[in-house]
Amino acid sequence: MAKNKERIDMPRQEIKERIRNFEEVAIGYTEEMALLEAERCLNCKDATCIKGCPVNVKIPEFIKFVVEKKYLDALKKIKETNSLPAICGRVCPQEEQCEKSCILGKAKKPIAIGRLERFVADWVSNSDIKEELPKIEKKNVKVAVIGSGPGGLACAADLALLGYDVTIFEALHKPGGVLVYGIPEFRLPKRIVEREVEYLKKLGVKIETNVVVGKSITLKDLFESGFKAIYLGLGAGLPKFMNLKGENLLNIYSANEYLTRTNLMKAYKFPEYDTPIKKGKRVAVIGGGNVAMDAVRSSLRYGAEHAMIIYRRSRQELPAREEEVENAEAEGVEFHFLVNPLEFIGDEKGFVKQIKLQRMQLGEPDESGRRKPVPIEGSEFLLDVDVVVIAIGQTANPVLLNVTPEIKRNRWGNIEVYDEFGRTSMKGVFAGGDIVTGEATVIQAMGSGKKSAEGIDQYIKTGKWL
Amino acid sequence: MYQILEHKTIGQNIHKMVIKAPLIAREAKPGQFVVIRSYENGERIPITICEKDPQMGSITLYIQEVGKSTAKIGLLKKGDHILDIAGPLGNPAEIKKVGTVVTIGGGVGCAITYPETRAYKEAGNYLIGIMGFRNVSFKILEDEMKKVCDELYITTDDGSYGQKGFVSDKLKEIISSGEKIDEVLVIGPAIMMKVISDITREYKIKTIASLNSIMVDGTGMCGACRVEVGGKTKFACVDGPEFDAHEVNFSLLMKRASMYSEEERLSYEKFKNER
Ligand SMILES: Cc1cc2nc3c(=O)[nH]c(=O)nc-3n(C[C@H](O)[C@H](O)[C@H](O)COP(=O)(O)OP(=O)(O)OC[C@H]3O[C@@H](n4cnc5c(N)ncnc54)[C@H](O)[C@@H]3O)c2cc1C
Ligand SMILES: Cc1cc2nc3c(=O)[nH]c(=O)nc-3n(C[C@H](O)[C@H](O)[C@H](O)COP(=O)(O)OP(=O)(O)OC[C@H]3O[C@@H](n4cnc5c(N)ncnc54)[C@H](O)[C@@H]3O)c2cc1C
Ligand code: SF4
Ligand code: SF4
Ligand code: FES
């Protein structure tokens, strides 16, 4: 059989249908597709793709197992460095990471590493094969993980594998962090997150939900009750607003609220689920990142006739993943580029009805290297809207840090760490993920969680701090 | 899962519930609240912690049935479980010895003024309590308040108990009697808090209000609870829930609290029809 040369496309739900439901858009490779894609891999000796992955998944080795149809072995290989393959395969920005560094990317399209990773994880979980649990030698030493986002989950998994008695404390009622409250069902089905959480529980990790550390219990209490080390994976959970006139009008949401109502609280199933959301016919989402794309694509699924992105630079500068922008465009999202909100205008009952926008043009590049938007005087105009979502970013979640002055923060409010393992200024406390780096990615948070697990193990064994 | 140790229906549609929640019972202070989700499809709603018993590991809540979520909780019996309770959330009330304090509760708001009234008393203040109810069937916590107040007044809108009229009438009476008031705490419907704060502003009496904005997470993550205080946006769940009443934009608070009235009505009717 002639070797396949072309990158295999991801099958997706028909556009007509998918914009009216919250089901996953990307359906996933069939076995046949996965095999065709896998056999394109050159199995490079000095595989550059591995270096592109923040956790260095052994890509050629797992792909070789796929070619041999040894999917369980492939999964084990991936899990040596990545405990959440079904999730990463779906949401990693592969085009900037592993796939960007694939040698094939130079001449033609890189191997679809993420899609294969997802295929392997899904295949095994849909089969009758029971993933055998690794043998763990229990150490009887307690470690606490605060926050159950990807960073916390990865840290807990590695610590459990090392034999520690791990408890995760999570403020919300469901574990998963942004994976459950932020990223929509149509990109990451929640049953997949649940599956990964179940696996952690099988490893012996305890999960205490509804515990707001800093309020329900302090770090000092945790140390006093016998925990030997603590990992903080608090995330970047504080939504930014713009401080514009009219920003508190009714039907103006932060992206966090809009997405939390939708994903964690399942407002798209209202009234079967009790949490309501305003659906809106003319929905404007302010911002151009992944979060903005998730919000605007959700609004389409709620039935918006005009689902609009309001972005102050041009398409080229959009920070969202290209794939998400393409999906949004294909689904009919309207993009308003080079415009910036000045004010929100409401009706007599206080509901937002218009945004006053100003046109922008691109000036000189700023520190980030992107061209800076400059307002055009006298270009103001009004846009009719009935729901607005503000998706201009998040900063550090301060609930725990405000009552823990021992932990030093930098000028953005993020936790200052002093080595690659995430040691903070408080003895025995490590930190990683978005609370350290600011908003980043799932795999980076995971990578730092793993690194901290290593650091915690060292610290507990040696007792050495900085 | 949090077990209900005791459930009494007191007053009209007000449920007193004692619930096992040891972590919360240990940490809770007057003015703080919990966020409850009573069953899998439920919403997250904030409820103030009225009493706590760290030895028993229990907290006491007073919940008034106003819509589907509170109605569902009202159906739970002793021995049943509540799925999720997170807390204690919000800042504890700042309670100091200031002299004479008037605490004003409206309806179920009295369940929130009660623990704070007690704390004010323990701090050495002279306490005047005013409790307002629509009518006698809504009356709660009278005996408890009697024990901690030096003077206690009750008003009902229809005169079916205590003095006929509003809590604001009683406050005005007290002020005009020449009583020197150092601080007022007011908790109840937004409109009542606004009326009280308009009166005390005139007399320059420091006034604190607890804001009942709509919440989702209660941990500062979503911004649903935003309120305007002194012209600045604040998150009621982490910056409050108590604020200087004279600085609060009550008209915005009232509007935002009614944002989902249509959806809430739909949800409640559907629930009642199915019951
Ligand atoms: C809408 C959206 C879409 C995204 N899409 C992508 C994507 O496609 N690909 C990608 O790679 N990245 C994406 N990201 C970014 C990615 O999700 C984050 O970088 C990642 O989740 C950070 O992980 P974390 O472990 O640091 O924290 P988080 O996932 O933020 O989790 C932190 C957890 O800690 C809990 N917590 C906080 N404070 C306390 C406390 N005091 N006590 C107890 N618990 C506490 C929080 O409730 C939360 O559950 C997206 C982010 C958002 C918001
Ligand atoms: C800090 C705080 C403390 C509170 N303490 C108490 C208490 O001790 N006892 C008590 O009976 N009530 C208390 N409340 C009010 C209580 O949260 C609401 O009555 C409850 O959420 C109504 O839910 P429902 O589904 O039964 O009614 P719905 O029909 O959904 O709503 C009725 C009204 O309640 C308000 N409301 C609706 N959803 C929410 C929400 N998620 N968060 C806040 N308000 C909402 C709205 O103004 C709405 O118009 C408190 C509110 C806050 C903010
Ligand atoms: S974890 Fe992410 S970056 Fe690493 S190989 Fe998998 S998809 Fe690529
Ligand atoms: S660089 Fe590309 S072709 Fe080479 S091993 Fe990695 S995925 Fe395969
Ligand atoms: S309730 Fe979400 S920030 Fe206050």
Secondary structure string (H, E, C) spanning chain A: CCCCCCCCCCCECCHHHHCCCCCCCECCCCHHHHHHHHCCCCCCCCCHHHHHCCCCCCHHHHHHHHHCCCHHHHHHHHHCCCCCHHHHHHHCCHHHCCHHHCHHHCCCCCCCHHHHHHHHHHHHHHCCCCCCCCCCCCCCCEEEEECCCHHHHHHHHHHHHCCCEEEEECCCCCCCCHHHHCCCCCCCCHHHHHHHHHHHHHCCCEEECCCCECCCECHHHHHHCCEEEEEECCCCCEECCCCCECCCCECEEEHHHHHHHHHHCCHHHCCCCCCCCCCCCEEEEECCCHHHHHHHHHHHHCCCCEEEEECCCCHHHCCCCHHHHHHHHHHCCEEECCEEEEEEEECCCCEEEEEEEEEEEEEEECCCCCEEEEECCCCCEEEECCEEEECCCEECCCCCHHHCCCCCECCCCCECCCCCCCECCCCCEEECCHHHHCCCCHHHHHHHHHHHHHHHHHHHHHCCCC
Instruction: Please tell me the predicted confidence (pLDDT) of residue A135.
Output: 87
Whole-number Å distance between alpha carbons of A138 and B8: 47
What integer pLDDT is reported at residue A63 of this predicted model?
97
Q: In the prediction, which pLDDT does B10 show?
A: 86
Whether B214 and B246 share a structural domain: yes
B186 and B234 share a domain? yes
Q: How big is the A-B interface in CB pairs under 8 Å?
A: 114
Asked if the structure places residue A264 within a domain, the reply is yes
Give the CATH number, domain containing residue A61.
1.10.1060.10
Range B15-20 average pLDDT: 95
Q: Does residue B177 share a domain with residue B84?
A: no
**Which ligand number lies closest to the CA of residue A173?**
1
Ligand 1 atom nearest the C-alpha of A211 is: 43
Structure confidence at residue A107 as a pLDDT band (50, 70, 90):
confident
Is position A3 within any domain? no
- Looking at residues B78-86, what average pLDDT do you find? 95
Average pLDDT over residues B214-239: 96
pLDDT given at position B78: 93
H/E run at residue B142: helix B142-148
Residues facing residue A358 across a β-bridge: A340
Q: What percent of chain A has pLDDT over 90?
A: 85
**ipTM associated with this complex:** 0.95
Same domain, yes or no, for A99 and A203? no
Mutate to test the interface with A, among B41, B211, B239 (most CBs of A within 10 A): B41
Token readout for B25 is 């019972």
CA of B130 to the centre of ligand 2 (A): 22
pLDDT at residue A2 greater than cutoff 70: no
pLDDT at B159: 86
Give me the CATH number covering residue A288. 3.50.50.60
Mutate to test the pocket of ligand 2, among B12, B45, B192 (most ligand atoms within 8 A of CB): B45
B161 pLDDT above the threshold of 80 = yes
Question: How many domains does chain A fold into?
Answer: 3
Q: How far is the CA of A64 from the centre of ligand 3 (A)?
A: 16
What pLDDT score was predicted for residue A4?
Answer: 67
Does the structure show a pLDDT above 60 at A170?
yes
Structure tokens at B7: 């459930």
A243 near B CB under 8 A:
yes
Question: What pLDDT shows up at residue B112?
Answer: 87
The string of pLDDT tens digits covering residues B96-144 is 999 999 999 998 899 889 999 999 999 999 999 999 999 888 888 889 9
The pLDDT confidence band at residue A323, using thresholds 50, 70 and 90, is: confident
| Long-range contact pairs involving B71-74 (C-beta distance under 8 Å, separation at least 24) | B71/B268, B71/B271, B71/B272, B72/B38, B72/B39, B72/B42, B72/B271, B73/B15, B73/B17, B73/B36, B73/B38, B74/B9, B74/B13, B74/B15
Q: How far apart are CA A292 and CA A325, in angstroms?
A: 10
Same domain flag for A390 and A422: no
From the CA of A88, give the closest atom in ligand 1.
11
Q: Are B101 and B179 in contact, with CB atoms under 8 Å apart? A: no
**A255 and A384 share one domain:** yes
Shared domain for A180 and A217, answered yes or no, is yes
* Full domain range(s) for residue B196: 100-257
Domain of B233, CATH number, reads: 3.40.50.80
Q: Looking at the structure, tell me whether residues A273 and A367 fall in a common domain.
A: yes
Q: Rounded CA gap, A53 and A191, in Å?
A: 25
Nearest ligand 5 atom, CA B236: 4
Q: Is B222 contained in some domain?
A: yes
Of the pLDDT bands very low, low, confident and very high (cuts 50, 70, 90), residue A193 is: very high
Average pLDDT over chain A, rounded to an integer? 93
- Domain final residue, candidates B65, B89, B113: B89
Please tell me the predicted confidence (pLDDT) of residue A50.
95
In a shared domain, residues A342 and A245: yes
In 3-state terms, what secondary structure has residue B271?
Answer: helix
Asked if residue A155 and residue A67 are part of one domain, the reply reads no
Are residues A454 and A428 part of one domain?
yes
Share of chain B above pLDDT 70, in %: 100
Q: Which residues of B touch A (CB under 8 A)?
A: 23-24, 27, 37, 41-44, 68-69, 83-89, 216-217, 219-224, 226-228, 233, 238, 252, 255-256, 259-260, 263-264, 266-267, 270
Q: Is residue A335 part of a domain?
A: yes
Which residue among B23, B69, B223 sits closest to A211, beta carbon to beta carbon? B23
Residues B104 and B217 in one domain: yes
The DSSP code for B256 is H
Q: Is residue B95 part of a domain?
A: no
Res. A280 pLDDT band, cuts 50 70 90: very high
Distance (Å, rounded) from C-alpha A419 to C-alpha A391? 32
Inter-chain contact A270–B263, Cβ cutoff 8 Å?
A: yes
Mean pLDDT across chain B: 93
DSSP helix/strand/coil, B108: helix
Asked whether the predicted pLDDT for residue B75 surpasses 70, the reply is yes
Tell me, yes or no, whether B109 and B29 share the same domain. no
Same domain, A367 and A451: no
Cβ A144 vs Cβ A230: under 8 Å: yes
- The SS3 call for residue B209 is strand
For position B274, what pLDDT does the model report? 85
Ligand 1 pocket, A151 CB below 6 A? yes
pLDDT band at A282 (very low <50, low <70, confident <90, very high): very high
Cα torsion B72, B74, B80, B84: sign? positive
Q: Are A251 and A276 in contact (CB under 8 A)?
A: no
> In terms of pLDDT, which residue wins out, B258 or A368?
B258
Residue B275 has what pLDDT? 77
Residue B274 falls within a domain, yes or no? Answer: no
Cβ–ligand 2 contact at B108 (below 6 Å): yes
Determine whether the shortest distance from the Cβ of B43 to ligand 5 is under 6 A.
no
> Based on the domain organization, do B119 and B28 belong to the same domain?
no
Answer yes or no: do A388 and A267 share one domain.
Answer: yes
Q: Which of A168, A34, A44, A96 is nearest to A319 (CA)?
A: A96
Query: What mean pLDDT do residues A408-430 have?
Result: 94
A151 belongs to a structural domain: yes
Distance CA A359, CA A374 (A): 9
* Same domain for B222 and B135: yes
- Report the separation in Å between the CA atom of B227 and the middle of ligand 2, taken as the mean of its atom positions: 15
Domain end point (choices A348, A370, A394): A394
Of B89, B116, B144, the last residue of a domain is B89
Residue B188 domain flag: yes
Indicate the residue among A368, A394, A420 that finishes a domain: A394
State in Å: Cα A256 to ligand 3 middle: 26
Asked if residue A397 has its Cβ within 6 Å of ligand 1, the reply is yes
pLDDT beyond 60 at B228: yes
Residues A295 and A205 in one domain: no
CATH number at residue B56: 2.40.30.10
Q: Does A242 touch chain B (CB under 8 A)?
A: no
> Does A3 score more than 70 pLDDT?
no
Which of the listed residues A394, A422, A446 is the one where a domain comes to its end? Answer: A394
Give the per-residue pLDDT at B160: 87
Q: What are B108's two structure tokens?
A: 């179920």
pLDDT at A387 over 80: yes
B43, B224, B227: residue with CB nearest A274: B43
**Rounded average pLDDT over B18-30:** 95
CB of A343 within 8 Å of any CB in chain B?
A: no
pLDDT at A126 over 80: yes
Asked if residue A290 and residue A331 are part of one domain, the reply reads yes
d(CA B86, nearest CA chain A) in Å: 5
For the cut 80, the answer to whether the pLDDT of residue B55 exceeds it is: yes
Residue count of chain A: 466
Residue B198 and residue B156 share a domain: yes
Contact B68 A399 (CB under 8 A): no
Are B126 and B31 in a shared domain? Answer: no
Pairing of strands A352-365, A339-346: antiparallel
Q: Decide: helix, strand or coil at residue B84.
A: strand
pLDDT of residue B72: 93
**pLDDT for the residue A151:** 96
| Predicted local distance difference test score (pLDDT) of residue B215 | 97
Rounded CA gap, A263 and B196, in Å? 40
Contact A464, A168 (CB under 8 A): no
Query: Is residue A389 in some structural domain?
Result: yes
Tell me the average pLDDT across B212-232. Answer: 95
- Residues A417 and A431: beta-carbon distance below 8 Å: yes
Q: Is pLDDT above 70 for A100?
A: yes
Q: Does A393 lie at the interface with B, CB-CB under 8 angstroms?
A: no
Query: Does a structural domain hold residue A136?
Result: no
- Tokens standing for A24? 């996953």
Residues B121 and B249 occupy one common structural domain: yes
A150 vs A450: CA distance, rounded Å = 10
CA distance A114 to A59: 10
How many domains are there within chain B? 2
On whether residue A9 sits in a domain, the answer given is: no
Same domain for B119 and B244, yes or no, is yes
- What integer pLDDT is reported at residue B178 of this predicted model? 86
Cβ-nearest to A248 among B87, B252, B263: B252
User: The domain containing residue A29 runs over which residues?
Assistant: 15-126
Establish if A343 belongs to a structural domain.
yes
Burial (CB count within 10 angstroms: exposed 0-12, middle 13-18, buried 19+), residue A278 = buried
Ligand 5 atom closest to B225 (CA): 4
B220 and B200, same domain (yes or no): yes
- pLDDT at residue A83, as a whole number: 85
Is residue B156 included in any domain, yes or no?
yes
Q: Is residue B241 part of a domain?
A: yes
